[in-house]
Structure 1
Amino acid sequence: MTFRPPAGPAMRRICLVATEESGDRLGASLMKVLRQRLGDHVEFSGVGGRGMTREGLASLFPIEELSIVGFAAVLKQLPKILRLIRGTVDAIVAAQPDVLVIIDSPDFTQRVAKKVHARDDTIPIVNYVAPTVWAWRPGRARAMRGYVDHVLGLLPFEPEAFRRLGGPPCTYVGHPLIEQLATLRPNAAEQQRRDAKPPVLLVLPGSRRSEVARHIAVFGETLARLRAQDIAFEAVVPTTPHLEAAVRAGVANWQIAPQIVTVETERRAAFRSAHAALAKSGTVTLELAISGVPMVTAYRVGEVEAFILRRLIKVQSVILANLVIGDNVIPEFLQEACIADNLAPVLADLLSNGPIRARQVEAFNRLDAIMSTGASSPSMRAADIVLETMRGGRAGN
């Protein structure tokens, strides 16, 4: 008689695809919770960066291969992008996962999901980070219903937007920033510095070289206007190591010599001590708002992008914090309006505790209640839905 060991939980295969650093961080946190839930009975595969690699994923290719910004650049690299999509789809279908999780980067991941579904419609697909159908391309929501089983939204208004637009089920799982409140909010000493003179002014020209190139000069001119009006401040430019050279080259032409910080702990410390910010619009606006830092925002893109976006964007604000709060409390100056003549007066108000600042501070105080996810972290809520969506339902529980 042959001995047969008792049957244990089946090995679960989970594919994840994330092609940007922000998506890699989300993927890594999700993988950590999934491994806690499934123990040694899970295998990960797909595409990811350093964080996901540390959690056990061998990426099909380095995500740096997709660091492409702008419509013109995408067109030039299209053959390469299509080749990477095909290779990713082939690998996923061959792996026969219990679930596929696509994370942000919709221009890449949505195409992967569509093609995987076309080749094997038995693979459940979860979309982590809802595409911005509420801002532009609203028809994408209904199209996604054909190949996405569940959407995980980072913003509290997204489930209603997907319901209204006829998209797949969408659940608000929470923004990763709400897991970082301890590193975003000032302690007593940092609050004292935030209120002290001269005030700390954060200057955030962007997280990509093209963004830095478009904003660095006008941001420097704005600071020069303030100094010409005898408005005192201490300028700090938080950036990343790979952008440090570009930022230093740009600020070399400023009349004001800022402090440049690249270490993440120093960056967070600057946020906790800052009195105001001049920022490129994007996710950083929500980070500043949660940190309680009033701001003025600006954004410039290339002429081709501007022409297209003007015809596609369907929202009254492109500022994430404004959309979450439900009120345009943060001034935004886009394209032709992104000039020192517009930015300097608002910054002067923020630095001198004027009415624009007071309105933002009051609105930011409501963010915790608006973005709350209760006792569960965003990663835990996301993992719950991924497990429920897997072939065979919740595994290991």
Structure 2
Amino acid sequence: MQARATANVARRLFLIATEESGDRLGANLMKVLRQRLGGAVQFEGIGGQSMAREGLVSLFPIEELSIIGLAAVAKQLPKILRLIRLTADAVMQSSPDILVIIDSPDFTHRVARRVRARDPSIPIVDYVSPSVWAWRPGRARAMRGYIDHVLALLPFEPEEYRRLHGPPCSYVGHPLTGQIGVLRPGIDEQKRRDAGPPVLLVLPGSRRSEINHHMAVFGKALGLLHAQDIPFELILPTMPHLQEAVGKSVKRWPVQPRIAIGEQEKRAAFRIARAALAKSGTVTLELALAGVPMVTAYRTGVAEAWILRRAINVKSVILANLVIGENVVPEFLQQDCTPEKLSQSLREVLDDSPLRRRQVEAFARLDAIMSIGSQPPGVRAADIVLATMRRSRRPN
């Protein structure tokens, strides 16, 4: 049943998204909420270009929070704290019918806690769960004090929140499930995927720090494959803002890739790829949904690595493995991320090996694992936001 505004009173929603992925989720949520409320809605908050196209005037540019790495965060801490205070004050001044925080928990949760302390009557929904199942599990129980509902992108997360005694959590679906049509090959693309030389994707990351950590070791691994006369056509998808940095790095590689720029070219490359070498992250789930077997790796700074080794409590950091429920994708982290180990596993996923066949069979189960029925993720998310808003006792 669609919720409708009554007496033409516009509902006021405050949304906070500080990264591009969250900005896209926020924009889609805004679009559905506007439809559900018959246009009687006002949006305020923080967002990027996608949310701006839906009518949001951001409190500040989200680029101000593009901070990666412990050293960078420490240096910018006064600025971050100032923006947290500014955002919480803006929420209080708005006095919205609901606050929706989207991902970026290091920022958004600090705002949410301040808002709950100052006005407990404002309902708060968290769209995209922090990784409580991977590290800092105590956060789940703590979130009960300031989060009314969590909208999960991954199917195993609601059970994790029940196990960890967190707030109510509902699986609304991952936005990637709506992109399957552009991730998977058509007839001609499948022919290219099966033909030689095989297309090998290289995905070193979407941040400059990740490029710095992965490009050299990836290049050496590919050089070992090339030296062994293993044929492959190399494609490296990246985004426009990283094109220059990537271009400089690949000049030192013994084999040169074709650089694919932007999301459209990236999707086209996925549809013809036989295998991939990828930095761990959301891209592993993207590749799995596309049916592309992969080898994954991750390197970070010494301080970050020390913290992560002691904090992470899952058997795999690979998102595709976690969703599937078994470790079908090999992962090489920190000191294990060597050219020799990467090249050996790449040989296996390029060949018709047991490792490759096991991944292909596991990836075929993802549609059933991640199914949410006929409703798109944005619609399910919007309906829960509205239901949470209706349950609150705030006056119209």
Instruction: Write the deviation string for residues 283-333 of structure 1: whole angstroms up to 9, x where unpaired.
Output: 000000000000000000100001111110010000000000000000000
Instruction: Write the deviation string for residues 78-97 of structure 1: whole angstroms up to 9, x where unpaired.
Output: 00000000000000111011
Structure 2 counterpart of 1:110: 109
The residue type paired with residue 177 of structure 2 is I
Structure 2 counterpart of 1:72: 71
CA RMSD of aligned residues (A): 1.0
Structure 1 counterpart of 2:145: 146
Structure 1 counterpart of 2:291: 292
Aligned length: 388
Q: Residues 121 and 392 of structure 2 are in contact (CA less than 8 Å); yes or no, is this contact kept in structure 1?
A: no
Distance 2:263 2:104 in 1: 24
Distance 2:150 2:8 in 1: 27
DSSP 3-state at the match of 1:290: helix
The residue type paired with residue 166 of structure 2 is G
Q: Residues 99 and 391 of structure 1 are in contact (CA less than 8 Å); yes or no, is this contact kept in structure 2?
A: no
Residue 308 of structure 2 is aligned to residue 309 of structure 1 = yes
Spell out structure 1 runs of 4+ moving beyond 6 A: none
DSSP 3-state at the match of 1:329: coil
Structure 1 counterpart of 2:209: 210
Structure 1 counterpart of 2:88: 89
Distance 2:223 2:251 in 1: 13
Distance 2:76 2:41 in 1: 35
DSSP 3-state at the match of 1:261: strand
Distance 1:256 1:31 in 2: 45
Residue 160 of structure 2 is aligned to residue 132 of structure 1 = no
Structure 2 counterpart of 1:177: 176
List gaps (5 residues or longer) in structure 2.
Answer: 1-5
Distance 2:110 2:7 in 1: 36
Q: Percent identity?
A: 68
Distance 2:158 2:367 in 1: 18
Q: Residues 142 and 165 of structure 1 are in contact (CA less than 8 Å); yes or no, is this contact kept in structure 2?
A: yes
Structure 1 counterpart of 2:277: 278
The residue type paired with residue 284 of structure 1 is V
DSSP 3-state at the match of 1:390: helix
Distance 1:267 1:308 in 2: 33
Instruction: Write the deviation string for residues 25-55 of structure 1: whole angstroms up to 9, x where unpaired.
Output: 1101111111111122000000000001101
When normalised by structure 1's length, the TM-score is 0.97
Residue 346 of structure 2 is aligned to residue 335 of structure 1 = no
**Offset at 1:263?**
2.8
**Offset at 1:393?**
6.2
Distance 1:391 1:78 in 2: 37
Instruction: Write the deviation string for residues 182-220 of structure 1: whole angstroms up to 9, x where unpaired.
Output: 111111011111001000000000000000011001101
When normalised by structure 2's length, the TM-score is 0.97
Distance 2:115 2:226 in 1: 56
Q: How does 1:196-207 map to 2 (within 5 A)?
A: 196-207=195-206
Distance 1:392 1:39 in 2: 20
Structure 2 counterpart of 1:373: 372
Structure 1 counterpart of 2:10: 11
Instruction: Write the deviation string for residues 141-193 of structure 1: whole angstroms up to 9, x where unpaired.
Output: 00000010000000000000001101000000000000111111111011111
Distance 1:311 1:350 in 2: 31
The residue type paired with residue 103 of structure 2 is D
Q: How does 1:10-89 map to 2 (within 5 A)?
A: 10-89=9-88
Q: Residues 199 and 351 of structure 1 are in contact (CA less than 8 Å); yes or no, is this contact kept in structure 2?
A: yes
List gaps (5 residues or longer) in structure 1.
Answer: 1-6
**Offset at 1:264?**
1.9
Distance 1:393 1:353 in 2: 56
Q: Residues 300 and 338 of structure 1 are in contact (CA less than 8 Å); yes or no, is this contact kept in structure 2?
A: yes
Q: Residues 123 and 391 of structure 1 are in contact (CA less than 8 Å); yes or no, is this contact kept in structure 2?
A: no
The residue type paired with residue 273 of structure 1 is I
**Offset at 1:134?**
0.3
Structure 2 counterpart of 1:256: 255
Instruction: Write the deviation string for residues 375-396 of structure 1: whole angstroms up to 9, x where unpaired.
Output: 10110000010000115569xx
**Offset at 1:373?**
0.3
Distance 2:56 2:228 in 1: 54
Distance 1:164 1:66 in 2: 32
DSSP 3-state at the match of 1:77: helix
**Offset at 1:9?**
3.0
Distance 2:391 2:193 in 1: 52
DSSP 3-state at the match of 2:142: helix
DSSP 3-state at the match of 1:60: coil
Q: Residues 122 and 392 of structure 2 are in contact (CA less than 8 Å); yes or no, is this contact kept in structure 1?
A: no
DSSP 3-state at the match of 2:197: coil
Structure 2 counterpart of 1:162: 161
Residue 386 of structure 2 is aligned to residue 383 of structure 1 = no
DSSP 3-state at the match of 1:353: coil
The residue type paired with residue 101 of structure 2 is I
Q: Residues 84 and 107 of structure 2 are in contact (CA less than 8 Å); yes or no, is this contact kept in structure 1?
A: yes
Distance 1:200 1:353 in 2: 14
